Amino acid sequence: MPIKLTFLNRVTHCFRRDAPSLEAALASFTNYLRVQQGMGEVTVGGYYRMVKKFLREVGTTKPSEQQAVDYLAQLHVHNASYSHIRNSTRALYLYFLLQGRDLSVSYPKKPKRIIREILTPAEVSSLIAAAAQARDRLFLTFMAYSGCRYLELRHLKAGDIHFRDGTVLIRSGKGFQDRRIDLPPELFQLLESYSTTNGKRPDDYLLGDGRPISAKYIRRVLRDVQAKTGIRKHLHPHLFRHSLATNMLANGADLVTIQQHLGHSDIKSTMIYINYTRSLYRQQYQRFAPDYANPITPNVIQFPAAQEQA
């Protein structure tokens, strides 16, 4: 349900006469984000919408610091998500910075993230098998094995598939980072068959038909296969990413490998998957913990004697 900030509604109507000024201010803001802050279009679009909503609420393109603080406070009162509050705070801070003014605000403390749900290998297999169309099957298989973000897969080009060495180039991931990932032979068989059948050229979108696949298409595919399989988990593209990471960890992959495959810039982002695999942690601990009850064991590591301080 969208958040309704009624405490500012009384001034919203005043902005209609100031509409050209609003558009000019927002155009200047987006250019500032692109050129001087070096932000990508997804981030620019998000900040644009947040500032636009704020300016419409306060009815002026030159809001006071108190108006910004009151607006952000209402987001807290209405229990907006951490990411929405943080991004709104950042957007307003940058808008004030563009105008040469300071906005004294702090970001909310980031909650500890826990993966609450994943798909098991059997569930992923059943979802792929339930896809009726070749494109739908390729979409699900690619999501399952690559763990790509939605936007990365959406803009994937046929020329990014390198059949000779069995890799895929993921362009402009989060933070404008490119990466090359390995994928299994069975997926490349699907990719080759699909590309040949549909006459894909290097510059064509792999899954799109002249343009990137839409969120509507993805919702339709997930809804269809969910109905056929009866899986009641909330299906969304990022669930496949979480599931791949967790299943790789359960199979013995190290965190650095998973980090590189998913394109995490900070390994802390990868470590969230450890919390989900408590049973794996328990098994590993029981296997590798030293046996203090029976200290006479083979291959005991001999530590050097401590040197006495002079």
- CATH number for the domain harbouring residue 44: 1.10.150
Q: Which residues contact 80 (CB under 8 A, 6 or more apart)?
A: 3, 88
**pTM more than 0.85:** no
pLDDT score at 191:
94
**144: helix, strand or coil:** helix
Same domain, 87 and 127: no
300 inside domain: no
Same domain, 207 and 144: yes
Residues constituting the chain: 310
Same domain, 24 and 92: yes
pLDDT score at 1:
41
302 inside domain: no
Same domain, 261 and 130: yes
Same domain, 85 and 137: no
Same domain, 170 and 246: yes
CA distance 237 to 232: 15
Same domain, 126 and 227: yes
**52: helix, strand or coil:** helix
User: Domains in the chain: how many in total?
Assistant: 2
108 inside domain: no
297 inside domain: no
Same domain, 175 and 232: yes
Same domain, 140 and 49: no
115 inside domain: no
Same domain, 145 and 216: yes
Same domain, 59 and 165: no
145 inside domain: yes
Domain that holds residue 42: 6-98
CA distance 293 to 300: 14
pLDDT score at 286:
78
CA distance 52 to 45: 10
34 inside domain: yes
Same domain, 82 and 162: no
CATH number of the domain within which 221 lies: 1.10.443.10
Chain centroid offset of residue 159 CA: 24
Neighbours of 110 (CB within 10 A): 9
85 inside domain: yes
pLDDT of the chain, 310 residues: tens digit per residue = 444 444 344 444 455 454 558 999 999 999 999 999 988 888 899 999 999 999 999 999 999 999 999 999 999 999 898 889 999 999 999 999 999 999 998 888 877 666 778 899 999 999 999 999 999 999 999 999 999 998 889 889 999 999 999 899 998 656 567 899 999 999 999 999 999 999 999 999 999 888 999 999 999 999 999 999 999 999 999 999 999 998 998 888 888 999 999 998 888 888 888 766 666 667 767 777 777 877 655 555 554 555 555 4
